[in-house]
Chain A
Amino acid sequence: MKVQRGAKERAFIDKVEELSEQSVNACIRCGTCSAGCPFVQDMDELPERIFKRIILGDTEGILRQNTMWICAACYTCSVRCPRDIDIAKIMEAVRQIVLRDNVDMVDVEHVERIKDLPQLAVVGCFRKETG
């Protein structure tokens, strides 16, 4: 299969690599990240599939998935990757690319039971999901 990347695709890959300081091409698609991820049942696509889309520069395809929003940066994949790719940082880079367009993924004015929640949950969620 021939990989074709236009300027837009290349710019997306470069941004992911710049923000994460990781090389996406180091991935050998072994699937260890997906095998150990405790959140895969809630993800539209496995982390390893997201890698494939990044390598192909399939920006629109990636942004249609919920995978990066379900990732809670638990680092299980990052400590197990045989290629030492910090996958949690790749997920953060994709999140940041969306959030930096002034997008919020959580409605900060309408969080149910906010007074019951521990502060670190609210601070953590808003940090991860608001632009």
Chain B
Amino acid sequence: MDGYLYYPGCTLKTKASDYEESAMAVMEALDAPLVEMDDWYCCGAVQSLAADDIMHQIAPIRTLICAQEQGEREVVTLCDMCYNVLKRANLWMREHPDDLDTMNEFLDEDPDYEGNVEVYHLFEILRERKDDVKKRVKHKLDGLTVAPYYGCMLLRPSEVAIDDTENPSIMEGLLESIGADVLDNPKRTECCGSYHVVNRPDIVERRVEELVSRMGEMGADVIALSCPLCQYNLDSYQRSTGYDIPVLYLTELIALAFGLEAGLHKHRVDPGIMLKERGVLER
């Protein structure tokens, strides 16, 4: 296949459409388009952690069966939570062949999953193509100070980490290749409060206050990330910090550097003001 088989998951089609739009545009510009799967299911958002709970691994495995049936060996996710769930479910089935047999027997209308599909996050693909990213830059983002933020699901647990769990550099490298000024962000691997936003938003507010106020004190113009849940929490719950820092998907920044119009529609903190102030968008 030309390009990469792409698994969107539920949020990329709705709340995080800025991410999908910008990632599609960036990959198209790199001659490695993301091609959406013919069929897919919601992954369940959080990996089932109880050893006997195979039931909750069905959804991610069915998606991997869809990839297998399309004749592909690789599937790429944009969402960090989808990445974590698909990757871990895949590993679990490889390490627990009895559970895979049980699942294949249960899914009797689907073909058996053979365990041969590999799950990747978009950042891993971009890391491989960092030189191409650099070559494609039209307008360097110099003058824009970007705080990279990884959150949890790209780095933990270690068996699915796309980088060093405590000292990652994949985003820093990509930001440097588009000419941004990269902030050495000490809060970049700390949890934003995750799904507590549903029924304990006070917890998320405290977490986000600690994260964003530190990044603000250090001089962040914008925050770059890839998890749609982190994006929502950091964007929506920073009011108490007194800062108004735009929270952007890394691909939106890459698209800007490529001179593409993509994303930047759905953020609570309007990125336009800061991007114009720093000369990234025309005034």
Asked if B102 lies at the interface with its beta carbon under 8 angstroms from chain A, I say: no
Interchain nearest-CB distance for B211 vs A (Å): 9
Residues B52 and A128 in contact, CB atoms below 8 Å apart? no
Asked if A26 lies at the interface with its beta carbon under 8 angstroms from chain B, I say: no
> Which chain A residues (43-101) contact chain B, with CB distance < 8 Å?
70, 72-76, 78-79, 86, 88-89, 92-93, 96
Which B residues are CB-close (under 8 A) to A38? 190-191, 207
Quick one: which of B79, B155, B203 contacts A70, CB cutoff 8 A? B203
Residues A111 and B198 in contact, CB atoms below 8 Å apart? yes
Which B residues are CB-close (under 8 A) to A119? 10-11, 14-15, 42, 45
Residues B165 and A120 in contact, CB atoms below 8 Å apart? no
A42 to B206, CA, bound (A): 10
Given that A117-B198, A124-B81 are known contacts, is A73 also in contact with B49, CB under 8 Å in the complex?
Answer: yes
Interchain nearest-CB distance for A107 vs B (Å): 8
Residues B50 and A118 in contact, CB atoms below 8 Å apart? no
B82 (CB) vs chain A CBs: closest residue = A120
Residues B232 and A118 in contact, CB atoms below 8 Å apart? yes
Which B residues are CB-close (under 8 A) to A106? 198-199
Residues B52 and A18 in contact, CB atoms below 8 Å apart? yes
Which A residues are CB-close (under 8 A) to B81? 120, 124
For chain B, which range describes its interface: under 10, 10 to 19, 20 to 34, or 35 or more residues? 35 or more
Interchain nearest-CB distance for A60 vs B (Å): 22
A106 to B200, CA, bound (A): 10
Residues B15 and A118 in contact, CB atoms below 8 Å apart? yes
A126 to B194, CA, bound (A): 13
For chain A, which range describes its interface: under 10, 10 to 19, 20 to 34, or 35 or more residues? 35 or more
- Interface residues as binary, B204-242 with A (CB distance below 8 Å gives 1, 0 otherwise): 001100000000000000000000110010000000000
- Interface residues as binary, B41-55 with A (CB distance below 8 Å gives 1, 0 otherwise): 010111011111100
Interchain nearest-CB distance for B79 vs A (Å): 7
The 8 closest A-B pairs by CB, nearest first: A75-B156, A74-B191, A92-B49, A124-B195, A125-B198, A124-B45, A125-B195, A123-B45
Q: Which residues of A contact B (CB under 8 A)?
A: 18-21, 38-39, 41-42, 70, 72-76, 78-79, 86, 88-89, 92-93, 96, 106-107, 111, 117-129
Q: Which residues of B contact A (CB under 8 A)?
A: 9-11, 14-16, 42, 44-46, 48-53, 56, 79, 81-82, 152, 155-158, 165-166, 189-191, 193-200, 203, 206-207, 228-229, 232
A-B contact pairs, 11 of them (CB 8 A): A38-B191, A39-B191, A39-B207, A74-B194, A76-B152, A117-B232, A119-B14, A120-B228, A121-B232, A125-B195, A126-B198
For the complex with contacts A70-B203, A79-B157, A126-B198, 7 further pairs of A-B residues with Cβ separation under 8 Å are A73-B46, A76-B190, A93-B50, A107-B199, A111-B198, A119-B11, A125-B199
